[in-house]
Amino acid sequence: MATRNIDIKAFRSLSCGLYVVSAKGGDKVAGCIVNTFLQVTSTPARVTIAINKENFTTGVICEAGRFEASVLAESAPMELIGRFGFHTSADTDKFADTQHAIDPYGVPYVTEHSVAHFGVRVIDKVDVGTHYVFVGEVEDAEVLSDEQPMTYAYYHLVKGGKTPPKASSYEPAASGGAPDSAPAPAAESPRYGWRCMICGYVVEMDELPDDFTCPMCGVGRDMFERVEL
């Protein structure tokens, strides 16, 4: 058997975007960030997404049999991304402070800082281990703005975004690949900052203001820990 040689960094060359996937099943409404929404055929118009089995949104999609996907624009603020990417819909109404609309099937979708949306009916589900891959047929689609869609590379390189542990592209340091954010080079004297215990965002500052909130996920000062940089 041939020896496997997998360089995790090779996966970073794959192009993908950033999307809010949402669903409604019964009285449950859920949404999360994914980077795996892809068109696979044009006639009929079919797409796929991959979502971690542990995500609350995954269970709602399984129950409802359909979902919405909103294509985020480059202008999407980190607060919006953090709201859907680093909190669970099990105990957070993510749409309460988000501009949104409702599709013909009662599913909410994000309209602020969105380029387009797609209403999708699930036609198949594939178990791929930690994630389900949903195959769906597009039944509703609309362009929402003429902004540039955000790529996953833009999210990381320009906005300084982190990858949630449940994401398909998450790279734990223990896997042998580089961690999501490389540590800063050693300095001659120690530097200190504060790290968000929810999403990992780090800010270099001696003391955090009492009203400080994480620009990534929105939590307050009490969820930051002091760290050496």
Per-residue pLDDT reduced to its tens digit, 68-125: 999 999 999 888 998 998 889 999 899 999 999 999 999 999 999 999 999 999 999 9
- What single DSSP character describes residue 1? -
- Cβ neighbours for 134, distance < 8 A, ≥ 6 positions apart: 48, 49, 50, 51, 61, 67, 122, 124, 125, 126
Question: 60: part of which helix (H) or strand (E)?
Answer: helix 56-64
Beta strand pairing call for 192-196 and 224-228: antiparallel
Give the Cα separation of 27 and 60 in Å (integer): 10
Q: Put the strands of the sheet holding 19-25 in their side by side order.
A: 28-34, 19-25, 66-72, 114-127, 131-143, 45-52, 38-42
Mean pLDDT of 14-18: 86
User: What's the whole-model pTM score?
Assistant: 0.74
Q: Is the pLDDT of residue 8 over 90?
A: no
Give the Cα separation of 96 and 88 in Å (integer): 14
pLDDT of residue 188: 55
Domains of the chain: 15-157 (2.30.110.10), 182-229 (2.20.28)
pLDDT of residue 178: 39
How do residues 154-206 score in pLDDT, each as one tens digit?
887 787 765 655 555 555 544 443 344 444 444 456 678 888 877 777 888 88
Check if the beta carbon of residue 24 is closer than 8 Å to that of residue 110: no
- Judged on CB neighbours under 10 Å (0-12, 13-18, 19+), 173 is exposed
Give the mean pLDDT of the chain.
85
pLDDT of residue 162: 59
Residue whose structure tokens are 């996907």: 69
Q: Within 13 Å of residue 176, how many CA atoms lie on the same side as its CB?
A: 5
Residue 84 has phi, psi (to 5 degrees) of -90, -20
Torsional sign, CA 26, 31, 36, 38: positive
